[in-house]
Amino acid sequence: MDTTDICRMPGRVSLNAHLYHKGKIPDALRHLILDISRAAKYIQFAIRTTEAGLAGSINQYGEDQLKLDVLSDEIIRQHLSESRRVASFASEEHDEVIELDPSLPYSVAYDPLDGSSLVDTNFAIGSIFGIYEGATFIGKTPRDQVAALYVLYGPRTLLIYSTGNSVHEFILNEVGEFILLREFLGIADDAKNYSPGNLRAVNENGAYKSVMDGWLSRALTLRYSGCMVADVHHIVSKGQGVFVNVGGKKYPEGKLRLAFECGPFAYIAHHAGGLASDGHSDILDKKLFTIDQRTPIIIGSSNEVRAVCDVLSR
């Protein structure tokens, strides 16, 4: 029997219905994304109900872990393990890849809580996921992702996904379902907003100072919160802008990680018509050698990304 009629797109479109009709993906990937979205609901509940203290432990980068970092990581781990669609996964909070079952179809890289230093200020924070086909993503590039998504825990909880067929935005409703808010989001070629991460690097990185001076002289609008999910979402939501995080002399690769942060956002920016570069090459083509690999990133409106890269490479 042809199921197309029975499963016709309903008026109020759930994440599941959208993945089914517009995702153009196998059922296993649809179910994995739904399992991840379920984890995100528990995280947003934990954010509202958990005290914002330190967990008393440090992660692989020597950063203090918040209770919420640890809790969010555990929630995602549990959902990925129980999903039975994940061969292996790696989290920003751990220094090794967790291997579950090599016969399962996908591997996942995730940042359980991005912007966690902002928890006590009640600013927006997020979770980021990159999904690859096969038992491991090591040796692959972010272009090999079959899906990327992020969840923004702000005044509202939003989920944004791409499976290679543009970028779509969902809102968590009162009964705990992600419902379509906007679909086929695009990023225009020119930026009116700029988001300068690791700005302290201008003291040792003269090229970054020139970039900043350029933005100031052109009177672009500053939009920077300190949470990459919120700051890149600003670009996705407004349909234009540029986000930069580059290093200085001491840490030329900057702070942000290719597997957990830059790779998934590069995939989403690309499928919204934007660009993501490390200053020289497309982030989508950078090979993942280790899980803790860092990269500079310039992401957003293509003309502005190219212009920033030009100045940085002078």
Residue 83 or 195: the one with the smaller Cβ distance to ligand AHG is: 195
231 touches Mn ion by CB under 5 A: no
Q: How many CB atoms lie within 10 A of CB 41?
A: 18
Residue 20 or 123: the one with the smaller Cβ distance to ligand AHG is: 123
Residue 233: name its binding partner from ligand AHG, Mn ion, none (Cβ under 5 to 8 Å by kind): none
Query: Site size for ligand AHG, by CB under 6 A?
Result: 13
Which of 234-264 are b and which e, b meaning 16 or more Cβ less than 10 Å from the residue's Cβ? bbbbeebbbbbbbbeeeeeebbbbbbbbbbb
93 touches ligand AHG by CB under 6 A: no
Rounded CA-CA distance 295/254 in Å is 6
Restricting to residues 106-145, name those near ligand AHG by CB under 6 A. 111, 114-117
Among 141-149, 226-234, 264-272, 278-286, the segment contacting ligand AHG (CB under 6 A): 226-234
The amino acid at 124? A
Closest CA to 47 of 171, 151, 170: 151
- Phi and psi for 278 in degrees, rounded to 5? -95, 10
Restricting to residues 229-248, name those near ligand AHG by CB under 6 A. 245
111 touches Mn ion by CB under 5 A: yes
User: Could you give the dihedral angle defined by the CA atoms of residues 264, 205, 201 and 305, in that order, rounded to the nearest 10 degrees?
Assistant: -30
Residue 117 or 303: the one with the smaller Cβ distance to ligand AHG is: 117
Among 9-17, 104-112, 240-248, 297-305, the segment contacting Mn ion (CB under 5 A): 104-112
